[in-house]
Amino acid sequence: MQHKGLEEDWMKRPIAYQMANIGSEVSRSINNVDKPARFKGAYERALELFDLTLLSLQKQQKDGELREVCRAREEFCDFFNGNSFGTDARMMQKYYDEFATIL
């Protein structure tokens, strides 16, 4: 776990904050795909933040948001593992950027 002690604070944050921070790690993953060490760190941090967000949404019983974040996590993982969904990096980044503008 790279974000030690974050779980309690993370669950108090609004979904826009959580998704904007996930988006930062998604962006770092995309931008560092040719730098293995940096990519690995960003990819793992993104997954960790996805998982903390999913846990938070499960505890709050927010099923609609839970489905959306599950889908976003699935798309993120697929993008770097064969991209069978045909996801465009620019469009994926734009999705997360929208959350940052809400803040």
Q: How far apart are CA 33 and CA 90, in angstroms?
A: 14
Q: Which one, of 84, 58, 62, 2, lies nearest residue 21 by Cα?
A: 2
One-letter amino acid identity for 7? Answer: E
Does 1 reside within a domain?
no
**Residue corresponding to tokens 């993120």:** 76
Does 31 reside within a domain?
yes
Does 37 reside within a domain?
yes
Does 14 reside within a domain?
yes
Does 17 reside within a domain?
yes
- Cα–Cα distance list, 86 to 13, 75, 89 (Å): 31, 9, 10
Does 2 reside within a domain?
no
Average pLDDT of the residues in 27-44: 97
Domain count, the chain: 1
One-letter amino acid identity for 98? Answer: E
- Cα–Cα distance list, 22 to 5, 36, 58 (Å): 17, 19, 17
Q: What is the pTM of this model?
A: 0.92
Per the structure, the complete domain to which residue 64 belongs is given by 7-102
36-48, pLDDT tens digit by residue? 999 999 999 999 9
